[in-house]
Amino acid sequence: MLSQLKVGQFRCFEKFEARFEPGINLIVGPNAHGKTSLLEAACLLLRLQSPRTSRLGEIIRHNERGLLVDGHFKAAHLQFYYSPQRKKLALDSVEQRTASEYLKLGRVVWFSNQDVELVREGADVRRRFIDFVASQIDPSYRKALRDYEKCLRSRNLLLKAPVPRWREIQAFEEPLVTAGEQLIKSRHALITALRPLAQLAHANISGAREKLHLEYLPNAAAPLAEALAAARPEDTRLRMTTAGPHRDDLQLLLGPAPATLGSEGQQRTLVLSLRLSAARLLEAHHAEPPLLLLDDIFGELDLSRRAALLEQLPKNAQQIITTTRREWLPPELQAHVLDLESR
């Protein structure tokens, strides 16, 4: 469990320290008091990434150079410093050259009141969800994703030349294809594993009125090398790489219909089920529940969905829950409270 979290120059915090207990932790406070920021810091500490954004520069406190997150998770002391110029990682005060040992320690599932964007927004939001979970299941996923993105940037840059030099472009294709194929394989395996878990969670929360279906939609249907070759005329015309896993999507259906057509409540139930399926999968895969970070989601759920969610969350998982109001909490629920009101 996460027992202590310190942040420095992190969003609205110049410096702040929080302690957490096993079980349920509540962060309570009015709007703009740093509740979401603290949850994000916990996520960054364990996973070295934000669940909200891939641009870490945004979460450095305005006019400061770099941010620091520091904390104790299980028996380990984790430290991460980030600035656009420099990243520094330490595990038990020993600086780490790579993140691989560090990232083995803790897993996180993030639930947020913004989650309906998984249904409503573009494919990039769903890919971020997939990537976030996949990299917690398969340690080599993160590297494959980075390699892929790097090769893709280089390839796109070469495609911008007035006359693309295909021989040079081809030189980037081999590592691009290797990394890309790995992403496709891992994503396929992930969605296959999440599907029944999400369907079960969905049936339990919604009372099984309509069936949830998840389908991985790889952009490159053929082997990636063939898809790239076939897309050359299009790539030349548009001067960018048009085929590959950077355009993958996750299709969400309620019964036969796209989830975008569902009601507000149906969409909220769907995204809860997705997040729960990730928690269940991580719990099964690592034989321990992930840390659950729940950002302001209970306030807007109706009573039955609130109860169903509490019931569905992995037992024994440490939970950090933010809220502006405490009223919705069942009185019998024991929680450690961190009050940001007076901050």
Ligand X SMILES: Nc1ncnc2c1ncn2[C@@H]1O[C@H](COP(=O)(O)OP(=O)(O)OP(=O)(O)O)[C@@H](O)[C@H]1O
Tell me the β-bridge partners of 111. Answer: 294
String of contacts with ligand X for each residue 273-302, x by CB under 6 A: -----------------------x------
**Applying CB under 6 A, does 186 fall inside the site for ligand X?**
no
71 binds, among Mg ion, ligand X, none (CB under 5 to 8 A by kind): none
User: Nearest to ligand X by Cβ — which residue?
Assistant: 12
Which range in 30-38, 150-158, 247-255, 325-333 contacts Mg ion by CB under 5 A? 30-38
Please pick, from the candidates 261, 324, 328, 343, the single residue that binds ligand X as defined by CB under 6 A. 324
**Applying CB under 6 A, does 32 fall inside the site for ligand X?**
yes
Please pick, from the candidates 36, 182, 219, 323, the single residue that binds Mg ion as defined by CB under 5 A. 36
**Applying CB under 5 A, does 269 fall inside the site for Mg ion?**
no
**Applying CB under 5 A, does 9 fall inside the site for Mg ion?**
no
**Applying CB under 6 A, does 229 fall inside the site for ligand X?**
no
Task: Return the number of the residue (60 or 191) whose C-beta is nearest ligand X.
Answer: 60
Task: Return the number of the residue (35 or 305) whose C-beta is nearest Mg ion.
Answer: 35
The CA distance from 202 to 1, in Å, is: 27
75's CB contacts (< 8 A; 6+ apart) are: none
Residue ranges of E strands in the chain: 2-10, 13-19, 24-28, 67-73, 76-82, 87-91, 94-95, 108-112, 212-217, 249-254, 257-258, 291-295, 319-323, 335-339
Q: Which of 5, 37, 7 is nearest to 19 (CA)?
A: 5
Judged by CB under 6 A, the chain residues 109 through 168 that form the site for ligand X are none
Task: Return the number of the residue (36 or 267) whose C-beta is nearest Mg ion.
Answer: 36
Task: Return the number of the residue (34 or 314) whose C-beta is nearest ligand X.
Answer: 34
Judged by CB under 6 A, the chain residues 36 through 55 that form the site for ligand X are 36-37
Sign of the C-alpha dihedral computed for residues 220, 225, 226 and 227 taken in this order: positive
Confirm if 11 and 78 have CB atoms less than 8 A apart.
Answer: no
Task: Return the number of the residue (27 or 243) whose C-beta is nearest Mg ion.
Answer: 27
DSSP-derived letter for residue 289 is P
Task: Return the number of the residue (34 or 66) whose C-beta is nearest ligand X.
Answer: 34
Could you give the dihedral angle defined by the CA atoms of residues 50, 56, 60 and 63, in that order, rounded to the nearest 10 degrees? -160
290 binds, among Mg ion, ligand X, none (CB under 5 to 8 A by kind): none
Which range in 33-41, 127-135, 147-155, 330-338 contacts Mg ion by CB under 5 A? 33-41
**Applying CB under 6 A, does 230 fall inside the site for ligand X?**
no
Please pick, from the candidates 42, 59, 145, 201, the single residue that binds ligand X as defined by CB under 6 A. 59
Number of residues that bind ligand X (CB under 6 A): 16
Please report, for residues 30, 120, 323, 332, the alpha-carbon distance to residue 296 in angstroms, rounded to integers and kept in the order given: 11, 19, 5, 20
Please report, for residues 81, 176, 227, the alpha-carbon distance to residue 168 in angstroms, rounded to integers and kept in the order given: 37, 13, 18
**Applying CB under 6 A, does 189 fall inside the site for ligand X?**
no
Quickly tell me which residue has 């990394």 as its tokens. Answer: 179
| Cβ burial, residue 162 (10 Å; 0-12/13-18/19+) | exposed
155 binds, among ligand X, Mg ion, none (CB under 5 to 8 A by kind): none
Task: Return the number of the residue (37 or 219) whose C-beta is nearest Mg ion.
Answer: 37
The CA distance from 161 to 178, in Å, is: 25
- List residues binding ligand X (CB under 6 A): 11-12, 29, 31-37, 59-62, 296, 324
Q: Which residues here bind Mg ion, judged by CB under 5 A?
A: 35-36
